[in-house]
Chains A and B, each alone.
Chain A
Amino acid sequence: MNKLQEVYRSIVRRDPLSTEKGKAELVFLNVWLHIHPVKVKQENFKVRHTFYLGFISFYLFLILVGTGVALMFYYRPYPAQAYQDMKDLQFVVFLGSFLRNVHRWAAHGMVVCVVLHLCRVFYTGSYKKPRQFNWVVGVILMLLTLGLSFTGYLLPWDQLAFWAITVGTNIGGYAPLVGAKIKEILLGGHNVAEGALIRFYVLHVVVLPSLVVLFTMVHFWRIRKDGGLSRPVWKLEGEAAGQNAPMSQPLVQIGGAAAPPAPLRKGTVAAASKDKTYGLMEVVTGKPLFETIGPEESDDEVFSFPYAFYRETIAFLVTLISVMAVSLIWNAPLEELANPAKTPNPAKAPWYFLGLQELVSHSAFLGGVLAPTLMVGALLAIPYFDKNPSRRLASRKRAIWVFTAFMVVNFVLIVVGTYFRGPGWALTPPWVHVTGHE
């Protein structure tokens, strides 16, 4: 028994979780968990503040990596085999159709959640100083998510995949100067063929996931260094309006006073408390990162374990349950084998690009060049051109309206492109069912 205890103690070295020290050590001694702060602010974790959209997007990514790796055991990225492997996954591989469904629905879900997360961050003004760069990293992550969805879309090599990517790469090809060259690099040629399939596969399975992992690491790290999750707007009353995020830990004082200290003036050192333990990184000269030194703990601070971990786990379970339930009920689409000689009418890009395709149907330059450039440019510029320090909705009416209008227009364009466009891209009511064949 002692030996077992010895082995256990060599792996798990923290104090018991019933102690405060143990709760802290669980977080900062653990490689998987130490991105978390030891303590978090309860109000930040309320569902109605973030809706856990960031967490959900990340969980969906994990689910996609897991199911994606599983699918890789049975999928060969060559035109002669790809479609047959999809059929094998559908019919003979154990849990093949379930895993494929999970992968597909999680992918669509991730695109939706990433966009909703962007909206939430905008509406709560959480992109403002000092979180501007994290917003930029987020936009990059969104573009990578769209890239992953797009590259994965081609892999089944059915009519839906083949023509969606033909349309999509043609939209991209409209970019001036570089468009044709980028299209050539993506396709490994001038048309969608076996060159495109293997390149999209490598992008989908290696390149883009690695970039997502790298940027996610930056994104999470910046959350910590920017002072943690943003305060919900309703908590900004207690603190000064337009409060910028402080460091989460007060500075060390050598020597101790017992009483909780009064609000501090700039340049002073916070009083230490005798029942706390502090870790010291290093002593250097220079100014602190943030001008304001935060007060002692907020009134709603709790340990990450178990408060935050419980909620994060529940968010994960809800995500998993939703994806699994949807996958058990609805099958991912698989149309006929890709046929370069036979274009379906209409041929549609993946749904998140249908807004652009709708614009392209009016003007190639508008839809293929102007709109995407302006959209991405505008998104990236938001935190740097927004001079309003307030995060409250009431004080940001114009920004809220502009952003909402932008989102609604996008949504409407996508809905029109999905449900109201029939053969020849003519306006067709959605209840007129068009098949490509009798």
Chain B
Amino acid sequence: MNRRAFFSWSVAGLAAIWAAVGVSLGAAARFLMPSVFYEPPQTFKIGNPGDFSFGAPTLLPDEKIFVFRDQEKGFAVASAVCTHLGCTVQWFSSDDRFHCPCHGSIFGTNGEVAHGPAPRGLEWFEVTQARDGQLNVDKTRIVPASYRLMVKV
């Protein structure tokens, strides 16, 4: 075979090899991405609407969230994790504020920073009603503080 033909076959071969290398790198990247997480789930059910009281928010310490229930406006779920360095904040009915015991950050009823070193307000998570009537919280979906879920009880 002449030089030209030889040249093109080997170039084509090299091209295929480089393509294989590229595909392998892509596959390697996908390989390293975990398909399952050995962590508590980010979406979970917290119970039936009737389980939650009106007025002061209910703290769920394992899930680190506060569940607000308002007679007129419905349900809202806020993160209980202080945005400063991650401590769990507490609700005080005396001044209707969240207080962080670690460095004194204070958050208002909408989660906004009222005082202290926290850089941002508390996050609000999407809460929906699942098909079996229970409330479903999705921590991967952040919603504005005004978000409310109305449920028929």
Report A's interface with B, CB cutoff 8 A: 70, 73, 88, 92-96, 99, 306, 310
Contacts and interface: CB of A to CB of B under 8 A. Distances in A.
B33 interface: yes
B36 A92 contact: yes
Contacts of A88: 36
A94 B36 contact: no
A92 B35 contact: yes
B35 A95 contact: no
Interface string B2-37: 000000001000000000000000011011110110
A99 B31 CA distance: 10
Interface string B113-147: 00000000000000000000000000000000000
B5 to A, nearest CB: 15
A204 to B, nearest CB: 21
B36 A95 contact: no
A96 B28 CA distance: 11
Contacts of A70: 28, 31
Contacts of B27: 94-95
Contacts of B35: 92-94
Nearest to B28: A70
B32 A73 contact: yes
B23 to A, nearest CB: 12
A92 B36 CA distance: 7
**Of listed B28, B31, B33, B36, residue having the most chain A CB within 10 A:** B31
A383 B145 CA distance: 83
Contacts of A306: 10
B72 to A, nearest CB: 45
A92 B35 CA distance: 6
A175 B97 CA distance: 75
Interface in B69-112: none
A70 B28 CA distance: 8
Interface in B31-85: 31-33, 35-36
Contact of B30 (A73, A94, A99, A310): A94
A151 B28 CA distance: 26
A102 to B, nearest CB: 12
Contact of A93 (B10, B28, B31): B31
A99 B24 CA distance: 12
15 contacts: A70-B31, A73-B31, A73-B32, A88-B36, A92-B36, A93-B35, A94-B30, A94-B31, A94-B33, A94-B35, A95-B30, A96-B31, A99-B31, A306-B10, A310-B10
A85 to B, nearest CB: 11
A378 to B, nearest CB: 43
A310 B30 CA distance: 31
B28 to A, nearest CB: 7
A73 B32 CA distance: 8
A92 B28 CA distance: 15
A306 B10 CA distance: 10
A95 B31 CA distance: 7
B95 to A, nearest CB: 48
**Of listed A73, A94, A95, A99, residue having the most chain B CB within 10 A:** A94
A62 to B, nearest CB: 13
Contacts of B32: 73
Given A95-B31, A306-B10, 4 more contacts: A73-B32, A88-B36, A94-B31, A95-B30
A75 to B, nearest CB: 13
A270 to B, nearest CB: 33
Contacts of A96: 31
B31 to A, nearest CB: 5
B26 to A, nearest CB: 11
Contacts of A94: 27, 30-31, 33, 35
Contacts of B28: 70
Contacts of A93: 31, 35
Contacts of A92: 35-36
A95 B35 CA distance: 11
Contacts of A310: 10
A96 B35 CA distance: 11
A154 to B, nearest CB: 24
Contacts of B36: 88, 92
A319 to B, nearest CB: 14
B130 to A, nearest CB: 25
A310 B10 CA distance: 9
Contacts of B31: 70, 73, 93-96, 99
A306 B30 CA distance: 35
A111 B9 CA distance: 34
